Amino acid sequence: MILNREFYQRDAVAVAKDLLGKVLVHETNEGITKGLIVETEAYMGTKDAAAHSYKSNPSGRTNVQYKEGGYAYIYLIYGMYYCMNIVTNEINIPEVVLLRALEPVDGIELMKKRRGTDKMINLCSGPGKLCAAMGINKDNYGMDLCSNQLYLEEAAVKNPIEVVASKRINIDYAGEAKDYLWRFTIKDNKFVSVKVK
């Protein structure tokens, strides 16, 4: 079952927690890939010094963040890797959830081909890696997650999930915001990206 618009129209922290255990699906010409979300981070727009939308105009790269929840915010980092975010909350509230790690579910051969590795644990354990494995790039920027190409769905089997909150990764420049516990992971899941502080 595909998650509906209402799911995304809440604050980013609530959505980030609820996204754990959901499945990200991307249908392409090459085939379909699915991954179980095991790690997320919330970025709370104007209240968060680490967010892209904290100090920039509601135009350019962050434009889509100001839409209502349920859209894909894709950006290129360090000139080499894409990161996928999910826009949350209402119109004109620039809050997003960064997807940091997935557990591969479907289309694993395709993921291996895209990533150039056979190691399951290495396919999606990081923001740049999961985008490469899922075939996500700037063409997906602003895509509606309530449509049928790139979307999220409930996991086929719902196992009980234990959520762990921790500090976010690689945002030391963000002042006091770097200590906010807005990173969420599934406890003891081995597909979570390895960097832990």
Partner DNA sequence: CGGAAGATTTCT
Partner DNA sequence: GAAATCTTCCGA
What is the spatial distance between Cα 197 and Cα 174, in angstroms, rounded to a whole number?
16
3-state secondary structure at position 104: strand
In angstroms, what is the minimal distance from the CB of 36 to DNA?
Answer: 17
1 vs 80 by CB, closer to DNA: 80
Q: What are φ and ψ of residue 8, in 5° steps? A: -85, -15
User: What x-and-dash track marks residues 83-102 binding DNA by CB under 7 A?
Assistant: x-x----------x-x----
Q: What is the DSSP letter of 5?
A: H
Which amino acid would we find at residue 81? Y
How many residues bind to DNA according to rule CB under 7 A? 35
All residues at 6 or more sequence positions from 180 whose CB lies less than 8 Å from its CB, including other chains? 48, 167, 168
What is the spatial distance between Cα 197 and Cα 168, in angstroms, rounded to a whole number?
9
What is the spatial distance between Cα 125 and Cα 195, in angstroms, rounded to a whole number?
10
22 vs 129 by CB, closer to DNA: 129
Tell me how far CA of residue 61 lies from CA of 52, 57, 94, 192, in angstroms: 9, 9, 12, 27
In angstroms, what is the minimal distance from the CB of 1 to DNA?
Answer: 27
In angstroms, what is the minimal distance from the CB of 49 to DNA?
Answer: 10
Residues 118-177 that bind DNA (CB under 7 A): 122, 126-130, 132, 169-171, 173
Q: Extract the tokens encoding 84.
A: 């996928």
Q: What are φ and ψ of residue 157, in 5° steps? A: -115, 120
Stretch that binds DNA, among 2-10, 23-31, 80-88, 144-152 (CB under 7 A): 80-88
In angstroms, what is the minimal distance from the CB of 84 to DNA?
Answer: 8
15 vs 130 by CB, closer to DNA: 130
Residues 29-68 that bind DNA (CB under 7 A): 43, 50-52, 55-57, 60-62
83 vs 186 by CB, closer to DNA: 83
| Site of interaction with DNA (CB under 7 A) | 43, 50-52, 55-57, 60-62, 73, 75-81, 83, 85, 96, 98, 115, 122, 126-130, 132, 169-171, 173, 193
